[in-house]
Amino acid sequence: MSTKPSDLFDLSGRIALVTGGSRGLGYEMVRAFAAAGADVVVTSRKLEACQKVAAEVESLGRRALAHACHVAHWDEIDALVEAAYDHFGRIDILVNNAGMSPLSPSSAETSEALFDKIVGVNFKGPFRLGALVGRRMVAGEGGVILNVSSSGALRPDPLFATYAGAKAALNALTTAFAHEFGPKVRVNTISAGPFLTDISKAWPEEMREHANSALGRPGRPEEIVTTALYLASEASGFVTDALVRVDGGLR
């Protein structure tokens, strides 16, 4: 393996699929992967938003496919996988990034519909997508699966108990998939802390400026990039079944 950092993080010739890729952390990862040489499948619920990001990828000289998909719906996931493989022939890097984290007034007041929606997006979808793509990776040349989880899974709060439980399940899924699909497929988790993505616009100003962490602040979206590139590339060739905290040192 080359010791040149530029070679270690090179994704030239790779095909990446990023869910929730039209904004927030997913958008930053899409742009970073493309800049590192990867072609990208950009997916989220809104096709127009995916197309806009796909055009940015193409402006960087890479190929892109925009495909709308609600990851809580398995039939849409199946269609996404078929579209990606029909277009590019394979997937080398899968990033399960799509998520949602609505608050609940209490556990008893959490409706079944809301519970199912949160679990569907944060766990059910990644399970199905990882299962389908992981199987194909094993049958092919291997690959990388990256699950984007949350510090909420490690520090659950009553206000987001369902979300915390779904992300904790996603953490467990990383271990299960790493051993099911290894050694040809590496599977890891990014445990993301508070980031100043679109969702943070609803936070109080104090939360946007300060965090109960060693660094004392929320993360900037682009600060997810180096960890994502590390885990997606050969730089982390001996890393699997790992949970990497990117949270500024939350207490």
Question: Which residues are annotated as catalytic?
Answer: 149, 163, 167
Q: Which helix (H) or strand (E) holds 172?
A: helix 161-181
Q: Give me the residue label for tokens 């890729």.
A: 21
Q: Which residues of 68-106 are buried (b: 16+ CB within 10 A; e: fewer)?
A: bbbbbbeebbeebbebbbeebeebbbbbbbbbbbeebee
Cα–Cα nearest to 83, from 97, 66, 62: 66
Q: Are 134 and 180 in contact (CB under 8 A)?
A: yes
Between CA 45 and CA 234 the distance in angstroms is 31
Per DSSP (E only), the strands in 15-124 are 15-19, 39-44, 64-68, 93-96
| Residue 127 in tokens | 């399970």
Between CA 206 and CA 25 the distance in angstroms is 21
Q: Are 105 and 29 in contact (CB under 8 A)?
A: no
